Amino acid sequence: MILFGLMFMTFCFKVSISQCNMEPQCQVRQFPNGFSFGTSTSSYQIEGAWDADGKTENIWDHMTHSRPYLIRDGSTGDIADNSYYMYKRDVEMLRELGVDIYRFSLSWTRILPTSFPDKINEAGVEYYNNLINELLMYNIEPVVTVFHWDLPQKLQELGGWANPYIVEWYADYARTVFTLFGDRVKYWITINEPHQVCHYSYGNSFLAPALDIKGVPEYLCAKNLLLAHATAYHIYDQDFRPEQNGKIFISCSAQWYEPLTESDAEAADEANQFEWKQYSHPIFSKTGDFPPAMKKRIAARSAEQGFFRSRLPEFTQDEIECIRGSSDIFGLNHYFSYYVNRNDSVNGYYESPSFNDDLSVFYTLLPEWNLGESDYMKSVPWGFYKLLTEIREEYGNPTVFITENGFPTRGGLDDDVRITYFTEYLSAMLDAMEEGSDVRSYSAWSLMDNFEWSSGFTEKFGLYEVDHNSPLRTRTPRKSAYFMGEIFRTHKLTRCLNNTQTPYL
């Protein structure tokens, strides 16, 4: 199914020997027929218009306004990329790139200002109708995320994802958007990055609502979120799919955790279980439920700590069955990898109780994984290959959509490091596909620079640069936009020794 060709440049006869040695060696790799390419964004990160036309406050509005010190540059998404007013330019950029699909998200409080379906905000609905119709007019398939982190502030005050009623609230919102847009939207993503929603937001102060209450609410959040996702899946499956005939899935963020030494195999396996299989095991495994290492370790730690029961809540058998199988596709957001080890120094190293203490491993990032100026993002393409291989082997080779992958710079149009990153990661993905991984779609993060959560506007992930000082938020293609546009249009990856930092052979 996968056409694979090696092509070495053969211009040597035209030039002198010394120039010949300079000639880059290139490998051209082909993506399979039907493979779709696109770019991703999310509502809070691009739309702006935070209180326009009846939209009400979400947790990101609330946190950026009330606790600006949690954002590196003190910025907000009040205007962001102004996409609420600039959607036609966004679609024009997608056409310039030659994408097949565009992944974007809906703002809950723009559509349901009371958080509930008693009042539908027509202006918000019109915005998304305009965007969807503009995409379809140019043959671009909308891939729509129902929830990408911007929970209504009102629901947060009621406990947010820690309140079991969130299952109903979210399901009502999902039913509303299936009803409004499902005649044209054939790919739905229920929730983006559950681990980030629960761990970085309830157990830490890295993402809104920045509760930083460790060891309990992040596990309540995980249970309720999985049930909310599965409920929306079954609503779509039973009440909408027969007529609308689309696909619905969840997008998990998964980094790869590799043993630091041979004796760290168990630590790395447990890190993979805690850090991402927490969400994929209940949905994609044969048995369902939280992963075994989580159940065992958290129960044991909870007992030692004097809790009367495990801090990891249990699912009933009905709930396990409801969640198991509730995703048509494995949506995957992936960025980089870690080495992991465990030794006696880890005891007492993390605050207790906490997720990190429950898992109890050390994380190591190697300096040679640095690329460009980013201080936290790394480039570890072989980790992507290992992750895709693990998903194939562990879950019976599900269809995978890469719904995010990308690399930040600090600005400028000349973004060779991003080109290097994309080249190496796409190549690692093709390696896994050659061995049978059923990857069918790839969306780059991101179409354009945007409000990058706690990094504000300091980390720029865009194929297009956005001038956040201009009132119109002018967009300009970077070098990587031309590079990716070529891949999107030709479905070929050309990998040369000189567009990579490390040789491919």
Q: Could you tell me which of 238, 130, 127 has the C-alpha nearest to residue 178? A: 238
For 253, residues 6+ apart whose C-beta sits below 8 A from its C-beta are 193, 195, 196, 276, 333, 334, 335, 404
**Shortest distance in whole angstroms from residue 368 CB to ligand NAG:** 17
Query: Exposure string (b/e) for 366-375, b if CB count within 10 Å is 16 or more?
Result: eeebebbebe
Active-site position among 134, 270, 404, 424: 404
Q: Which amino acid is at 404?
A: E
Active-site position among 193, 270, 275, 452: 193
Instruction: From 20-28, 76-84, 129-137, 292-300, give the range in contact with ligand NAG by CB under 6 A.
Output: 20-28
Binding mask 342-371 for ligand NAG (x = CB under 6 A): -xxx----------------x-x-------
23 lies in the site for ligand NAG, by CB under 6 A: yes
**Shortest distance in whole angstroms from residue 24 CB to ligand NAG:** 4
**Shortest distance in whole angstroms from residue 363 CB to ligand NAG:** 8
Q: Could you tell me which of 332, 495, 341, 498 has the C-alpha nearest to residue 399? A: 332
- Whether the Cβ atoms of residue 476 and residue 503 lie closer than 8 Å to each other: no
- Whether the Cβ atoms of residue 152 and residue 115 lie closer than 8 Å to each other: yes
Cα separation, 160 vs 97, in Å, equals 38
Active site residue 435: no
Active site residue 141: no
**Shortest distance in whole angstroms from residue 180 CB to ligand NAG:** 49
Preceding omega of 353 cis (within 30 degrees of 0): yes
**Shortest distance in whole angstroms from residue 491 CB to ligand NAG:** 24
Q: With respect to ligand NAG, which residue has the nearer C-beta, 20 or 303?
A: 20
User: Which residue's CB comes closest to ligand NAG?
Assistant: 498
Binding mask 234-263 for ligand NAG (x = CB under 6 A): ------------------------------
- Whether the Cβ atoms of residue 327 and residue 249 lie closer than 8 Å to each other: yes
Binding mask 314-343 for ligand NAG (x = CB under 6 A): ---------------------------x-x
HSE, side-chain direction, 13 A CA sphere, residue 309? 5
Across the beta sheet with 362-364, the strand order is 256-259, 337-341, 362-364
Q: Which residues are near ligand NAG by CB under 6 A?
A: 22-24, 341, 343-345, 362, 364, 498
Cite the active site residues: 193, 404
